[in-house]
């Protein structure tokens, strides 16, 4: 019987705890889901509007190259949901691929191979074909996306922390005091008498002695969520960045169009002469089609005066404000619960004091952990730590640090986890997957200036590009970093025009025979002769020597080639005449 009473008292305590904590848990969960749904919809709408704008403005050119933009939005979504995408690298990759595609379209009468397009990408930093759009857009997206994902993660994390705290079992000394408070009166035949208010307060304050330690970390956590919400309503406004993203990218394209001839000329100087070819230009591919005057769809990039983001964040801020001081208020609310104390009725006059029906004469201990050393109802050793509570305090401080980093415009790294469909915690369906969230280096704290990041040096540095569709994108660093086939790499991994042919003797072992490659791009083909040295670059690349010697001699490579082209026709005629004479 005593065990049943003990278990019943413990169960009532846990039920009361869950019922009081449930509204707080729902506040975080509902806010997280509402903000998550808003941002996911915002990203989808931005993608749809960009597709409509570009299809109307650029026509067939956009349709043939839409995979570049699709991959761009996929990377944004992957970062937000999983954090496993470096935003700065993703933006660099996007504009590098866009540069290759734009250069190919602008010079539609020519075709370019792997080597040439890789060289084109390497000119991006110097030529800046898109103006300052890549730098500005990268900084805006980085700060806003980091802040957005951090806010969503923090809200889901708040739900998770609250749930874990409510599952912490009361200690045996607490369960004993609860049993005495709730069951001893009926055992003595005293019914319908509620525990005295101060008696209940002493018991619950002793049971929740370590919960007081959560209060400071909890309030700081809530404060930082509210501060980050303010940033998202101001300098990090994700709605103002994502909604008009199509217009900003179109501005970059227009910058390229305006300087296209100059860019082409400088690329030719760095990468080699652009050779024309005879081929039929498909409908919609001629230069000038993508220069069609741009007309914006209705409301493209426009944000309502009272935006959805503003309403959602204000609601979150107001709801979270009510959760401050929750852990200090909790013992009082527990004693007002019918499962524990006197309910919301005032237990005046005769009440249960733990021994009899009367009044409670013992002093009421103060709030906090240290005063519980003198608690007359629940023995508390204040010199010991509660590992379960400390674990959640650490979790609160950790997520608060993430929030602080996001507030200061720095990057945030979350520990790995998985996420369910509705963003719930680890034990049901976890909040947003906490993969590593790298997106470059942080900025000067308290600075909103986008110039505090050296995007000019970072963005136009070497990166990589990939894609699918009618065009093939080539890595920026494919030329810079590879070694020649004779330095140990397998010939099969090299494009044909970079492979060496076997040499008949040692005297020519150091020579590289240049091959010509027929480049097929899906719209027609031609033989594009290109000279490549041991590092796989063209002789007229401005990073390389312009003259090559064979076997260490002094003869110019161009001289040998000219002589070869001159002698072959003569030899052909001579052999033909000899055969006829014979």
Helix then strand count (H, E) for the chain reads 17, 4
Residue 8 binned pLDDT confidence (cut-offs 50, 70, 90): confident
Residue 55 binned pLDDT confidence (cut-offs 50, 70, 90): very high
Given a contact cutoff of 8 angstroms between Cβ atoms, the answer to whether 193 and 23 are in contact is no
Inter-CA distances, 399 with 20, 146, 155, 272, 491, Å: 23, 14, 10, 53, 51
- DSSP 8-state assignment for residue 263: H
Helices 326-335 and 214-233: angle between axes, nearest 10 degrees:
120
Q: Could you tell me if residue 133 is inside a domain?
A: yes
Q: According to the model, what pLDDT value does residue 284 have? A: 38
Given a contact cutoff of 8 angstroms between Cβ atoms, the answer to whether 96 and 476 are in contact is yes
Given a contact cutoff of 8 angstroms between Cβ atoms, the answer to whether 63 and 55 are in contact is yes
> For the segment 232-264, what is each residue's pLDDT rounded down to a tens digit?
999 999 999 998 999 999 999 999 999 889 999
Q: Could you tell me if residue 421 is inside a domain?
A: no
Domain end position, chosen among 350, 374, 398: 374
Q: Could you tell me if residue 494 is inside a domain?
A: yes
How big, in percent rounded to 5, are the helix, strand and coil portions of the chain?
55, 0, 40
Answer whether residue 297 shows pLDDT above 70: no
Partner residues linked to 351 by β-bridges: 358
Inter-CA distances, 67 with 45, 48, 63, Å: 17, 14, 8
CA pair distance 272, 234, nearest whole angstrom: 48
Does an H or E element contain 571, and which? helix 557-581
Answer whether residue 80 shows pLDDT above 90: yes
What value does the CA radius of gyration of the chain take, rounded to a whole number of Å? 36
**Residues ≥6 apart with Cβ < 8 Å to 548:** 533, 539, 556, 557
CA pair distance 422, 429, nearest whole angstrom: 7
Look up the domain containing 150 and give its range: 2-278+305-374
Is there a single domain that holds both residue 266 and residue 138? yes
Both tokens of residue 171?
């200690």
Is there a single domain that holds both residue 117 and residue 254? yes
Q: Could you tell me if residue 429 is inside a domain?
A: no
Is there a single domain that holds both residue 368 and residue 493? no
Instruction: Give burial (CB, 10 Å; 0-12/13-18/19+) of 534.
Output: middle
Q: List the single range of 120-124, 307-311, 456-460 with lowest mean pLDDT.
A: 456-460
Q: Could you tell me if residue 455 is inside a domain?
A: no
Is there a single domain that holds both residue 238 and residue 91? yes
Q: Could you tell me if residue 104 is inside a domain?
A: yes
**CB neighbours (10 Å) of residue 196?**
26
Closest alpha carbon to 343 in 27, 25, 21, 12: 12
CA pair distance 506, 93, nearest whole angstrom: 43
Mean pLDDT of the chain: 75
Both tokens of residue 279?
């081929």
Number of domains in the chain: 2
Q: What is the DSSP string of 206-271?
A: HHTTTGGGHHHHHHHHHHHHHHHHHHHHTTT-HHHHHTTHHHHHHHHHHHHHHTHHHHHHHHHHHH
Q: List the single range of 15-19, 64-68, 356-360 with lowest mean pLDDT.
A: 356-360
Closest alpha carbon to 12 in 180, 179, 164, 162: 179
Answer whether residue 469 shows pLDDT above 50: no
Q: According to the model, what pLDDT value does residue 241 have? A: 92
Question: Tokens 């004091």 sit at which residue?
Answer: 353
Both tokens of residue 533?
């040295």
Answer whether residue 267 shows pLDDT above 50: yes
Helices (H), 112-213: 114-122, 124-127, 133-166, 172-187, 197-207
Question: Tokens 């540069």 sit at which residue?
Answer: 99
Sign of the CA dihedral running 402, 408, 413, 418: positive
Both tokens of residue 544?
């390389």
Given a contact cutoff of 8 angstroms between Cβ atoms, the answer to whether 114 and 467 are in contact is no
Answer whether residue 194 shows pLDDT above 70: yes
Domain end position, chosen among 374, 402, 434: 374
CA angle 248, 99, 139 (to 5 degrees): 40
CA pair distance 180, 460, nearest whole angstrom: 73
CA pair distance 475, 117, nearest whole angstrom: 8
Give the mean model confidence (pLDDT) for residues 100-113. Answer: 88
Residue 404 binned pLDDT confidence (cut-offs 50, 70, 90): very high
- HSE toward the beta carbon, residue 146, CA cutoff 13 A: 33
Q: According to the model, what pLDDT value does residue 577 have? A: 63
Domain end position, chosen among 356, 374, 392: 374
Q: Could you tell me if residue 436 is inside a domain?
A: no
Q: Could you tell me if residue 431 is inside a domain?
A: no
As a whole-number percent, the residues of the chain with pLDDT over 70 amount to 63
> For the segment 417-457, what is each residue's pLDDT rounded down to a tens digit?
434 444 444 433 334 444 333 333 344 433 444 434 343 43
Q: According to the model, what pLDDT value does residue 115 have? A: 87
Sign of the CA dihedral running 445, 447, 448, 453: negative
């Amino acid at each position: 019987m005593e065990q049943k009473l003990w278990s019943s008292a413990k169960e009532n305590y846990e039920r009361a705890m869950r019922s009081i904590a449930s509204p707080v848990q729902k506040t975080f969960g509902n806010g997280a889901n509402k903000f998550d749904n808003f941002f996911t919809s915002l990203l989808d709408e931005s993608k749809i509007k960009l597709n409509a704008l570009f299809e109307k403005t650029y026509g067939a050119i956009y349709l043939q190259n839409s995979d570049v933009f699709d991959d761009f939005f996929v990377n944004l979504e992957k970062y937000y949901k999983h954090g496993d995408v470096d935003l700065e690298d993703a933006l660099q990759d996007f504009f590098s691929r866009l540069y290759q595609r734009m250069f190919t379209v602008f010079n539609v009468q020519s075709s370019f191979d792997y080597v040439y397009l890789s060289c084109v990408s390497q000119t991006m930093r110097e030529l800046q074909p898109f103006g300052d759009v890549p730098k500005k857009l990268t900084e805006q997206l980085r700060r806003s996306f980091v802040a957005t994902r951090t806010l969503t993660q923090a809200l889901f994390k708040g739900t998770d922390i609250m749930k874990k705290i409510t599952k912490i079992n009361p200690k045996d000394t607490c369960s004993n005091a609860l049993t005495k408070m709730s069951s001893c009166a009926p055992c003595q035949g005293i019914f319908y008498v509620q525990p005295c208010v101060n008696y209940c307060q002493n018991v619950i304050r002793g049971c929740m002695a370590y919960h007081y330690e959560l209060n400071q970390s909890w309030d700081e956590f809530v404060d930082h969520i509210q501060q980050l919400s303010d940033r998202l309503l101001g300098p990090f406004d994700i709605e103002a960045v994502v909604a008009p993203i199509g217009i900003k990218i179109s501005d970059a394209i227009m910058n390229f169009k305006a300087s296209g001839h100059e860019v082409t000329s400088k690329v030719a100087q760095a990468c080699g002469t652009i050779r024309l070819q005879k081929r039929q230009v498909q409908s919609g591919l001629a230069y000038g089609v993508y220069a069609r005057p741009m007309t914006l769809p209705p409301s493209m990039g426009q944000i309502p005066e009272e935006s959805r983001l503003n309403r959602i964040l204000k609601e979150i801020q107001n709801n979270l404000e009510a959760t401050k001081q929750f852990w200090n208020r909790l013992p009082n609310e527990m004693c007002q619960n019918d499962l524990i104390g006197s309910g919301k009725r005032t237990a005046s006059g005769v009440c249960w004091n733990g021994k009899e029906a009367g009044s409670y004469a013992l002093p009421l201990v103060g709030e906090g952990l240290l005063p519980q050393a003198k608690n007359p109802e629940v023995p508390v050793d204040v010199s010991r730590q509660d590992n379960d509570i400390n674990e959640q305090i650490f979790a609160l401080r950790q997520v608060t640090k993430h929030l602080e980093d996001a507030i200061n415009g720095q990057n945030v790294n979350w520990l790995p986890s998985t996420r369910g469909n509705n963003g719930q915690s680890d034990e049901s369906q976890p909040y947003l997957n906490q993969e590593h969230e790298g997106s470059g280096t942080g900025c000067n704290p308290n600075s909103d200036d986008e110039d505090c990041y050296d995007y000019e040096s970072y963005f136009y540095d070497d990166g990589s590009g990939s894609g699918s569709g009618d065009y093939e994108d080539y890595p920026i660093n494919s030329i810079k970093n590879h070694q020649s086939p004779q330095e140990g790499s397998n010939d099969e991994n090299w494009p044909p025009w970079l492979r060496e042919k076997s040499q008949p003797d040692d005297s020519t072992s150091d020579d590289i025979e240049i091959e010509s490659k027929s480049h097929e791009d899906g719209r027609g083909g031609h033989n594009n002769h290109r000279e490549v040295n041991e590092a796989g670059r063209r002789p007229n690349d401005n990073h390389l020597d312009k003259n090559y010697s064979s076997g260490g001699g002094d003869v110019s490579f161009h001289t040998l080639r000219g002589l070869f082209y001159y002698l072959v026709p003569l030899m052909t005629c001579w052999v033909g005449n000899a055969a006829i004479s014979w």
